[in-house]
Structure 1
Amino acid sequence: MIVNRVFAYKVKYAAHKLLHGYMHDHYQKVGGYLAAVQKSSPGSHIQLVTVESKLPTPVFQRLFMCFEGLAKGWKEGCRKVLAVDGCFLKTFLGGQLLCAVGRDANDQMYPVAWAVTEGENNLSWEWFFTHIQTFLDLGEGDEVAIISDEHQEILNAVSNVLPKAEHRHCARHIYAHWNKTYRGDEFKLQFWKIAKSYSMADYDQALSELAEISTDAAEAFKKYNPPSFCRAFMKTSMKTDAITSNIAETFNGYIILARTKHLLYMLEEIRIGLMQMLVKKRQEMTKCTTALCPRIQNKLNKEKDKAAYCNVYPSSETLFNVSHNMDQLVVNLEDRRCSCRKWDMLGIPYCHACACIFFLNQEVEDFVDPCYTRENYLKAYAGSIPPIEGERYWPKVSCPLAPPPIKIGPGRSRKNRIKDPFENPKKPGSLSKNGIQMSCSAQVSDVVNAPAHHDISAQPTQLGRGGRTILRGRGARGGQQPQTGRSLPPSSASGAGMSQSAGPSDITQVGTQASSTGRAQGRGAGRGRRGAGRGQTTRGKGAPRGVGVLFGDDGSVLTNVRGKSSREVAGTTTTMRSRKAMSQQPTNYIGGLSSSQQSNQPHQTQ
């Protein structure tokens, strides 16, 4: 049965009406839901903003939510770092959800607050940061780091509300803009090498290397304000080296299904998900037996292994010189500082500091910053989000509220999204390879269009199933060997039964004949051990495989020849001797040719 499109939409609308009612009825319940949340968690911060309109009831505009358990956990168990971002709500009413996400002691996301707004603008972001500042006691932003993309509204709001905070820009978003002009793997690696440099010495060296590649690329890099996204310029008091807002993007992906629902259902799904997350993570950490969090302990173990390559020269009980990778650094265990600034910024001893600590026969775990301990992690997840009763038990609150107006832009609505300039029109969502340097994984050099490197140098005894060579881990179907005129090494020549006095012309000729036979063997023996190839029976025994190339009395190549049988090859009838007779008669093979057959071969001169 074929259903009309208009009829299908009417059925969908009727089903949605039966399940959720009208949008006006849905927003009439917002007051009762907020009262129920406030009743179960009195210390939570909830703020509803409405606007007046021509309608008799106020219209919903914004809603801020921050539960007491999350705010208390962030203050007591997390570093003073917040990643902020906005994401779209996927309903016909539109709007955006703003979020602030922190990092716990295990270096994972810790959602703190979120808000539903009409969109990203100066007023909404400033209103959001004002509530965060009040409820989290941030003051003017002293010793606080804010990480975000380069959205102009976020930049304005942070400078107005938290003027003393360190505002870090997301390096991934900056690279996306810079990469549109300077594409290629070489530019990509150099960009992240500069951004991830901890010290000014490493930063200047990496920037000079970029200038050697392209002076314009280095000048364009400086225009993006490097102190806002390069580690070499950042403060060390926050104990984090994060230069991307990926942690906020992670939360946006965590609630992606909730964002497809209407207001109350979305807020309930977020609350239930975070309520379960707090309990689950607290239970998992109670099973941990180490003093440090698991991810931090794994990172520390890797640095311990690298410490074996460091040479330590003591100057005093707490001051050392360390040489590592042709570089010399100074480590101060008392101040917990190192010339590379990795220990200063993260609070985790890197290989230079680990080597000095081992020199004093002490434990490296004792020199890790307390913000990474298991005890601090449990403080962050000690709180909880209280459960809420169903709609029938909500307090009866008179809060007339109308849904936000549906936004309809001028002109025809856009059906297709705005595509990237380098996006392939035939493959939506995938970028083209324009400007990308192509190379092969088996090739040592990265030179584009370099000569072929799959040299067929395997002996006939090292052909696998289907005629594929298995020497040196390179798989090939026995293609023709390139005529480079090089002689095989002694080990290879002896393994194939080849005389070491054979000239380049002999090697080239034999290699060509072996390649043609290898492909013929691949068709017959490559697909399964039971069959001998397409259209051939399995009776009898075939020619001996893995010995060399088999020739007839007249010098012609025999392919797929059966024992004690005759077959016409190139118009000549040739009889093949049995394997037993061949094994009894001494034969001196040179690249698959017997001594008797060499006499029939014409002599080639180079």
Structure 2
Amino acid sequence: MAESTVYKMKGIAMGMIQGGHDDLYSKFIDYCYLLKERNLESVAFCTWKVLQQPEKPLQFKSIFISFASKFRGLVQGCRGLVGVDGFHLKGNYEGVLLFVVSIDANNEIFLVVAMVDLENKSSWCWFFHHLKTIITETGREDWTIMSDRQKGIDPSLDRVWPKVPMRYCARHLCKNFKSEYPVMLMHKVFWSVTNVFAEFSFRKAITKLHALVGLGAVKWFKEIGPLVRWTNGGVRRIAMVRHATRQQRSEERVEGLCPNIRERVRDLIKESRSCHAYPAGRGEHGMRALLHAGKEPTDYVNEWYSVARYKATYNGNILPLLDKEQWPKLDNPKLLPPPIKRSVGRPSRNRRRE
């Protein structure tokens, strides 16, 4: 029996046991209702469009989810820098999952909100509109949005949230720069420009870039945008498991710094042994200056990296939903799945890596 036949038989069997995608899409409205009922103050809703057919059926368009416990954790325990991005879903219906992430007090990724839709300017505007609504209601205003400069993000933010500061991920910029200038040592040259913290050092790096690559590379950096924007910078179940695991971990920790931050401080102390004491600086030089002055390094770590902030981030729970067979009968319309999308040519067997 051919291997492809076995996979087809497996797909049919799994569909008979778990139900097909059509059945899952039809229950999205009920899912949002029950999620908000089980997790009070959470935001969950989906949108649809009416098909131009005699029966006027409703077809799924997008879904937006924000768990209350996750969002409160963002506001109370995370810094104001959040990253937005999206990745393409696989399968018959494809689509794009847009999401917002932040970094908690232990330097771990903290998933906040997710939405499924096509990635275009209209969907980004819709996404940022609801993100701005739930963020600004808290009264906190020190937010900064970081992105990979994907098409549609900047114009959508300028239209929906023009006052929020924006930053760009230098890793994605480096990839674009190397594709534009495929010359040896371009990686090192790029980071020499983006990693500077003083105007004099920046001018020195730009001069070196001009000498090595040419005027075109200097213009490429100018076209990115303002310098201040450069930075080097099954969802429900995954969020539940990660949130619960880190919540238990936070209860075992005493006051002070989080483990990853304490480890980083110890590494800086080791690196500073070969340095001289300078009155000012960063990294191992600044650490050596603190030790030379007889200061305790942990007293100079930002409060956002404390165990108290970590506990505030994971304070609260995401409650599970009942099995689909136990859902109450709700008088909500049933949605059709989005149209099936198939790419031209044979499907790729190799994973695309950056």
TM-score under structure 1 length normalisation: 0.53
- Once the two structures are superposed, the pairs formed by residues 299-378 of structure 1 within 5 Å of their partners are 299-308=264-273, 311=276, 322=278, 331=280, 342=282, 350-378=283-311
Q: Distance in 2 between matches of 1:186 and 1:135?
A: 44
Tell me the equivalent position of 2:237. 272
Tell me the equivalent position of 2:136. 137
What is the deviation of 1:120? Answer: 0.5
Deviation track 1:65-123 (CA, whole Å, cap 9, x = no partner) reads 00000000000000011111111121201211111111111111100000111x10111
Higher relative contact order (CA 8 A, sep 6+): 2
Q: Distance in 2 between matches of 1:301 and 1:39?
A: 46
Distance 1:9 1:403, change over 3 A: farther
- Once the two structures are superposed, the pairs formed by residues 513-592 of structure 1 within 5 Å of their partners are none
Secondary structure of 2:136's aligned partner: coil
Q: Is the 8 A contact 1:81 1:102 kept in 2?
A: yes
Deviation track 1:426-448 (CA, whole Å, cap 9, x = no partner) reads x99699xxxxxxxxxxxxxxxxx
Structure with more helix by fraction: 2
Deviation track 1:254-280 (CA, whole Å, cap 9, x = no partner) reads xxxxxxxxxxxxxxx321222121121
Q: Is the 8 A contact 1:24 1:401 kept in 2?
A: no
What is the deviation of 1:137? Answer: 2.0
Tell me the equivalent position of 2:119. 120
Q: Distance in 1 between matches of 2:272 and 2:8?
A: 69
Deviation track 1:155-202 (CA, whole Å, cap 9, x = no partner) reads 111112221222112222222222124234422111112112222222
Distance 1:37 1:430, change over 3 A: closer
2:316 is matched with which residue: 383, 403, 420?
383
Tell me the equivalent position of 1:243. 232
What is the deviation of 1:138? Answer: 7.0
Q: Distance in 2 between matches of 1:375 and 1:194?
A: 36
Deviation track 1:362-391 (CA, whole Å, cap 9, x = no partner) reads 212112110011111111011221122211
Q: Is the 8 A contact 1:71 1:112 kept in 2?
A: yes
Distance 1:392 1:154, change over 3 A: same
1:149 aligns with 2:144: no
Structure 1 gap segments, 5+ residues each: 235-240, 245-268, 313-321, 323-329, 332-339, 343-349, 418-426, 432-606
Q: Is the 8 A contact 2:29 2:46 kept in 1?
A: no
Tell me the equivalent position of 1:34. 32
Q: Distance in 2 between matches of 1:297 and 1:192?
A: 27
Distance 1:110 1:3, change over 3 A: closer
Q: Distance in 2 between matches of 1:430 and 1:36?
A: 38
Distance 1:210 1:18, change over 3 A: same
- Once the two structures are superposed, the pairs formed by residues 369-448 of structure 1 within 5 Å of their partners are 369-408=302-341, 413-415=344-346
Tell me the equivalent position of 1:95. 95
Tell me the equivalent position of 1:18. 16
- Larger CA Rg, structure 1 vs 2: 1
Deviation track 1:193-228 (CA, whole Å, cap 9, x = no partner) reads 211222222222222222222224542442442645
Q: Is the 8 A contact 1:28 1:399 kept in 2?
A: no
Tell me the amino acid that sits aligned with residue 261 of structure 2. I
What is the deviation of 1:63? Answer: 0.6
Distance 1:428 1:280, change over 3 A: closer
Tell me the equivalent position of 1:107. 107
Secondary structure of 2:45's aligned partner: strand
What is the deviation of 1:285? Answer: 3.6
Q: Is the 8 A contact 1:115 1:128 kept in 2?
A: yes
Tell me the amino acid that sits aligned with residue 110 of structure 1. F
Q: Is the 8 A contact 1:102 1:110 kept in 2?
A: yes
Q: Is the 8 A contact 1:133 1:139 kept in 2?
A: no
Q: Is the 8 A contact 2:272 2:285 kept in 1?
A: yes
Q: Distance in 1 between matches of 2:42 and 2:284?
A: 44
Tell me the equivalent position of 1:191. 190
Q: Percent identity?
A: 24
What is the deviation of 1:24? Answer: 4.1
Aligned residues: 351
Tell me the equivalent position of 1:247. none
Q: Distance in 1 between matches of 2:195 and 2:44?
A: 39
Distance 1:198 1:141, change over 3 A: farther
What is the deviation of 1:291? Answer: 1.4
Q: Is the 8 A contact 1:141 1:163 kept in 2?
A: no
Distance 1:24 1:368, change over 3 A: closer
Q: Is the 8 A contact 2:276 2:288 kept in 1?
A: yes
Q: Distance in 1 between matches of 2:56 and 2:139?
A: 40
Distance 1:299 1:14, change over 3 A: closer
Tell me the equivalent position of 2:48. 50
Tell me the equivalent position of 2:174. 175
Deviation track 1:14-42 (CA, whole Å, cap 9, x = no partner) reads 43441244544333322332222122112
Tell me the amino acid that sits aligned with residue 75 of structure 1. V
Q: Distance in 1 between matches of 2:57 and 2:97?
A: 24
Q: Is the 8 A contact 2:94 2:341 kept in 1?
A: no
TM-score under structure 2 length normalisation: 0.87
Deviation track 1:43-78 (CA, whole Å, cap 9, x = no partner) reads 100121111112433211111000000000000000
Q: Is the 8 A contact 1:78 1:380 kept in 2?
A: yes
Tell me the equivalent position of 2:62. 62
- Once the two structures are superposed, the pairs formed by residues 180-219 of structure 1 within 5 Å of their partners are 180-216=179-215, 218-219=217-218
Q: Distance in 2 between matches of 1:208 and 1:293?
A: 41
Distance 1:142 1:73, change over 3 A: closer
Q: Is the 8 A contact 2:28 2:335 kept in 1?
A: no
Tell me the equivalent position of 1:225. 224
RMSD over aligned Cα, in angstroms?
A: 3.1
Structure 2 gap segments, 5+ residues each: none
